[in-house]
Structure 1
Amino acid sequence: MDDKDIELVLPPGPRTVLHWFDFICPFCYVAQPRNQLLAGYGLEVVHLPFQIHPDIPPGGIEAGPRNGAMYRSLEQEAAKAGLPLNWPPRLPNSRTALSASEWVRRHRPEVSDPFNRALFAVHFDLGEDLGDVNVVMRHATAVGVDTAALRAALADGDAQTALSEAESAGGWAGVQATPTWLIAGETISGLRPEPEFELLARQAIEQAE
């Protein structure tokens, strides 16, 4: 991806933060308050989809047990953020949902955030199948998206191309896992503590001024 292509995917601006995520990533789910923190400092957070498990088949796979310190930590983070966390029994292929997310970001940016929140809730709260296009469309309708246009974009591959471009931009930025942020030229991977994000936000604002 060259600089011209990157500009088509990523809006420029000294206060812009890029955030790559996947709807089936629990760290991304509980990181939502981190993004709110960055926005609270006056930064524009651009949410870009990035499929972390493209190997999952269309019908999904069994998730297996969620035991151990990592899962307890995630549950504590979710409780702290006031986010329901009901571990789903299966992991879906998230490519359709991520493609829809990127299409909505480009064509209906004013409803992109609520649409993303809804699709996170589909997987981690509501017990619905994120891999089911009808589930995605129902939540798209709820936020006011023209689902006929979205279905057409999924059918002809335009939405999937948009996702691939967002992922290519992630590769350009060095994204290897989710969540990953690009803040003031620095790539930040993983769920860092809130005080570290506050420091990063202040540094980004100082650099932009």
Structure 2
Amino acid sequence: MRIDRLQKEYEIQVRWIAFPLHPETPEEGLPLEELFAGRNIDINKARERLRQVARELNLPLGDRKMTFNSRLAQELGKWAESKGAGDKFHRAVFSAYFVEGLNIGKVDELVRLSKSLGLPEEEAREVLKSRRYKGEVDSDWNYCYAQGITAVPTFAIDHQKAVGFQPYEALEQLLKMKGIKKRI
């Protein structure tokens, strides 16, 4: 991933921020056609663009037809971060969602995913049941609203942003513009 390369080459620290991606999506999910109904979006063109980016980055990508509510995955991600496994968890969720087409809005699916990463199964279930990290995700969502962040991925430094799938060079230019130094 581009962010991995940037972290290797530049003195940056990545912080994942939860984004309110279609929070109205019900737990059982929605077909993409239904999600985008009435909007001026060519779903097939958007899918092809996503496939193209995945090929460029050598990332696996399934042929998903559904979207699922990511709120609980975001809350569990905050917990995984507190356990030092945030990056690993986020990548596993992306794979579950974009490659396998799994419903990341289901508690049992998220607990299974956590367990597969070596995280404590019962603690994961308790975190989801109690909504222990709800406030942290709410805070992230409020930050996104306040900063005018409307799409993912968004790479931000101070008030400068690169929105959407950007070429490595565009992200690198943002770092240079902000005076971020290369690692020695």
Instruction: Give yes or no for TM over 0.5.
Output: yes
Q: In structure 2, which of residues 26, 31, 34 is the aligned counterpart of residue 57 of structure 1?
A: 26
Mapping 1:20-169, distance limit 5 Å: 33-40=1-8, 41-64=10-33, 66-68=43-45, 70-105=46-81, 107-108=82-83, 110-169=84-143
Counterparts in 2 of 1:204 and 1:147: CA distance versus 1, 3 Å:
farther
Which AA in structure 1 matches 2:4? Answer: Q
Unpaired stretches in structure 1, ≥5 consecutive residues: 1-32
Unpaired stretches in structure 2, ≥5 consecutive residues: 34-41
Distance 2:121 2:178 in 1: 37
Give the TM-score, by structure 1 length: 0.74
The question of whether the paired residues in 2 share the 8 Å contact of 1:115 and 1:140 is answered with yes
Distance 2:180 2:93 in 1: 34
Identity across matched positions, percent: 25
Matched residues, number:
173
Which AA in structure 2 matches 1:169? Answer: Y
Paired residue secondary structure (2:103) = coil
The higher relative CO (CA closer than 8 Å, separation ≥ 6) is in 1
Paired residue secondary structure (2:155) = strand
Q: Which has the higher strand share?
A: 1
Paired residue secondary structure (2:109) = helix
The question of whether the paired residues in 2 share the 8 Å contact of 1:37 and 1:198 is answered with no
Distance 2:52 2:156 in 1: 26
The question of whether the paired residues in 2 share the 8 Å contact of 1:184 and 1:207 is answered with no
Q: In structure 2, which of residues 147, 150, 158 is the aligned counterpart of residue 173 of structure 1?
A: 147
